[in-house]
Amino acid sequence: MSAAEFDYVVVGGGTSGAALAARLGEKADRTTCLLEAGGRDSHPFIHVPSFVAAAIHTKHLNWNFATVPQPGMAGRPIPVPRGKVLGGSGSINGMVYFRGHPTDYDDWSDAGAKGWSYAEVLPYFTRTENNENYPESVFHGKGGPINVKHVEGPNALNYSFMDGLASLQFPHCPDFNGPDPEGYGRRQGLMRDGRRESTSVNMLRPALKRGNVHVQTDAPVRRVLVENGRATGVELLDGRIVRARHEVILCAGTVQTPQLLMLSGIGPATHLQEHGIDVVMDAPGVGENYHDHVASPLHMETNNSTSYGLSLKALPRDIAHLFQYLLTRKGPLAGNVFESVAFLRTDPSLSRPDVQFVFQPARRLTTKIPFPIGHGYAISPVSLYPKARGTLRLASPDPAAAPLIDPRLLAEEGEVDCLVRALKISRAVFASEAFAKYGGIEIAPGPDVRSDADLADYIRRTGYTVHHPVGTCRMGSDRQAVVDPELRLNGVAGLRIADASVMPSIIGGNTNAPCVMIAERAADFILGKPALPAADLPPESVARYKSKPAAKSRARKKAA
């Protein structure tokens, strides 16, 4: 394939890249080459939803990055798993489907991402969706390529979690992707017929049948080739060149898209010079604005065998579940363990939920076996709106070297407070009548950890991130922005970015669905399609920008 030429070259076949290549392939007279550093997504752990922890721990499917030691996390380096396989992080992730809070996108628009308010992006979410549980509406799609559903037959502990929150007067949320995602309820996942639903499986594979999308796996890209201010193709690690007649689109993710740009001479000039890299363009914003969600769990153990888990007591049930899955692709093995959740304000004076309470009807993993041994349950509160912003920098000009990831986790004053409040709420849930029958014992933080200072210390010593890094190639309209609102790299023609790195700020939820939405929009920009009409949001939507100005003023003019 040396000096092969395509209309479009997409770098990175992850959540965004696989979706983008599939959409570009819909234009029959254009060719697309998708280059993925990892291998094919054939490993069985990827596809059985309940094997999610096993997929993450399969070494060759994961880049296994880590942050530099984090002072805000008691000096520890924190793992940063990223998918290294077709489907990317979407092939090893938790399969949770949640788009975030509507005002997150209104914030993007306010920050200069014109055209990305919630009403404007919602039609791109629903275009990809095939929702098994909710009827077609402004909030949900039917017939799209991505199957979304509730986990069937949730474990009974989920109802105790929800009852516990109800007893504390928190509201129920009937649809987290509906008008107001606040409260507790059942959560939706990316699954179909007991199998993981990734953009590789449900978008790319069908697109390959058309013959104009070419996928190269085990094809790590070394750098983008820029000639006379225009991206003309890429060079692979093995020296092969792939040329792009129209555009190169980077979809290597929040960690590797900025790394690739810097290795191509596009980034903060002094940093590039320190590493002896010729500066193609001084772009100080590249690698800035790294941020992620921090979580800290409350773990309970019990002799009661209601939870998922391997034990002598539960053996007959576990064997039955295995056969149920093998014969019907149903039952607990067909689910991702994350069956209910709550998005709550830990301080009533806030304008939107600040913490996601992830409920897990299973004991924490205590051995190298990626399945719970014994029984228990947990709530992992996730802080949704980190204040600190960090950086991604090169450790070396060697493209095979991992970059330096410094998210500055919990570095800002008061950032830990919402997690302290959330651990107290979690304790109140487990102390409620709804959990009395399980006789659970708190294992972590442990009954002796009571004061706010001790809880904060526990969070810093044991917290982790939930693998939603964003922002290192921020989209915006200002001069520091790396890409403009049509995802074009400022200063280099023929080069776009379409992945989690363009998010101006993290959404208050899980980042996979937004990455698909970004790819959907990128495909339309690249193919020159007009924007989909903004969604006509009902009054009960908590989005700030509800009106469709153009349509409404046209209607007003007509009426006059």
DSSP annotation of 482: S
Q: Which of 10, 14, 46, 105 binds ligand FAD (CB under 6 A)?
A: 14
Q: Interface mask (CB under 6 A) for ligand FAD, residues 212-251, using x and -?
A: --------xx-----------------------------x
Rule CB under 6 A: say whether 34 interacts with ligand FAD. Answer: no
Interface pick for ligand FAD out of 260, 434, 507, 543 (rule CB under 6 A) = 260
User: Please, are residues 118 and 529 in contact by the beta-carbon 8 Å criterion?
Assistant: no
88: contact with ligand FAD by CB under 6 A: yes
In degrees to the nearest 10, what's the CA dihedral of 252, 258, 262, 263?
-20
For residue 261, the minimal CB distance to ligand FAD (Å) is 11
Which residue of 41, 129, 415, 499 would you call a contact of ligand FAD, by CB under 6 A?
499
Please select the residue that binds ligand FAD; options are 24, 92, 378, 409, rule is CB under 6 A. 92
Collapsing DSSP to helix, strand or coil, 201 comes out as: helix
Which residues neighbour 556 within 8 Å (Cβ) at sequence distance 6 or greater?
Answer: none
Q: Which helix (H) or strand (E) holds 46?
A: helix 44-47
Count of residues that bind ligand FAD according to CB under 6 A: 40
Give least dist CB 322 to ligand FAD, A: 24
CB of 203: closest distance to ligand FAD in angstroms?
12
- Which of 34, 56, 344, 382 forms a contact with ligand FAD (CB under 6 A)? 56
415-454 mask for ligand FAD (x: CB under 6 A)?
Answer: ----------------------------------------
Min dist. Cβ of residue 169 to ligand FAD (A): 28
CB nearer to ligand FAD: pick between 335 and 440: 335
- Residue 391 contacts residue 288 (beta carbons within 8 Å): yes
In the set 256, 296, 302, 490, which binds ligand FAD (CB under 6 A)?
Answer: 256
Which one of 49, 72, 83, 267 is in contact with ligand FAD (CB under 6 A)?
A: 83
- The smaller minimum CB distance to ligand FAD, of residues 420 and 466, is found at 466
Alpha-carbon gap, residue 364 to 370, rounded angstroms: 10
**Residue owning tokens 């559903």:** 149
Query: For ligand FAD, which residue of 49, 72, 90, 102 counts as binding (CB under 6 A)?
Result: 90
- What is the SS3 string spanning 215-252? EECCCCEEEEEEECCEEEEEEECCCCEEEEEEEEEECC
If binding is defined by CB under 6 A, does position 38 make contact with ligand FAD?
Answer: yes
Q: Residue 296's closest CA among 412, 383, 184?
A: 383
How far apart are CB 546 and ligand FAD at their closest, in Å? Answer: 25
Has 468 been annotated as catalytic? yes
Site for ligand FAD in 103-162 (CB under 6 A): none
- Scanning 32-40, 325-333, 362-370, 489-497 for contacts with ligand FAD by CB under 6 A, the matching segment is 32-40
Nearer to ligand FAD, 89 or 296 (CB): 89
Residue 80 or 543 having the CB closest to ligand FAD:
80
Nearer CB in complex with ligand FAD: 14/471: 14
Q: Which of 57, 271, 293, 468 is catalytic?
A: 468
Give the nearer residue to ligand FAD in terms of CB position, either 198 or 346: 198
DSSP secondary structure letter of residue 202: I
Q: Which stretch binds ligand FAD (CB under 6 A): 11-19, 349-357, 360-368, 540-548?
A: 11-19
Q: Find the binder of ligand FAD among 10, 12, 181, 420 (CB under 6 A).
A: 12
Whichever of 128 and 256 has its CB closer to ligand FAD, that residue is: 256
Rounded CA separation 215/285 (Å): 31
Amino acid letter, 338? F
Q: Which residues are CB-contacts of 450 (< 8 A; sequence separation ≥ 6)?
A: none
For residue 58, the minimal CB distance to ligand FAD (Å) is 11
- Return the exposure string of 480-494: e unless at least 16 CB atoms fall within 10 Å of the residue's CB, then b: ebbbbbebbbbebeb
Euclidean distance between the first and final Cα of the chain, in Å? 62
Distance separating alpha carbons of residues 54 and 60, to the nearest angstrom: 12
Q: Which of 13/194 has CB closer to ligand FAD? A: 13
Site string for ligand FAD, 449-468 (x = CB under 6 A): ------------------xx
Coil, strand, or helix at residue 354? coil
Q: Is the peptide bond before 49 cis (omega within 30 degrees of 0)?
A: no
Q: Could you tell me which residues come within 8 angstroms of residue 9 by beta carbon, excluding any fewer than 6 positions away?
A: 32, 33, 35, 233, 234, 242, 243, 244, 247, 248, 249
CB of 221 to ligand FAD, least distance (A): 4
Token pair recorded at residue 560: 């006059």
Chosen residue from 24, 96, 358, 497 binding ligand FAD by CB under 6 A: 96
Closest residue to ligand FAD, judged by C-beta, is: 14
Task: Name the CA dihedral angle for 271, 275, 277, 279, rounded to a multiple of 10 degrees.
Answer: 20
Q: How far is residue 278 from each of residues 13, 271, 273, 275, 495, measured CA to CA in Å? A: 28, 11, 7, 9, 19
Q: From 544, 541, 547, 546, select the one nearest 181 (Cα to Cα).
A: 541
Contacts with 272 (C-beta within 8 Å, 6 or more apart), sequence order: 262, 265, 278, 279, 394
Distance CA 246, CA 30 (A): 10
Interaction of residue 511 with ligand FAD, rule CB under 6 A:
yes
Structure tokens at 419: 């997690």
528, two tokens? 């020159």
For ligand FAD, which is the closer residue by CB, 132 or 452? Answer: 132
Out of 21, 34, 54, 95, the residue judged to bind ligand FAD by CB under 6 A: 95
Tokens of 111: 């920050």
Cβ-based nearer residue to ligand FAD, 378 or 420: 378
Which residue, 99 or 546, is less far from ligand FAD as judged by CB? 99
Q: Catalytic site residues?
A: 468
Residues that bind ligand FAD (CB under 6 A): 11-17, 35-38, 56, 81-84, 88-90, 92-96, 220-221, 251-253, 256, 260, 467-468, 499-500, 510-513, 515
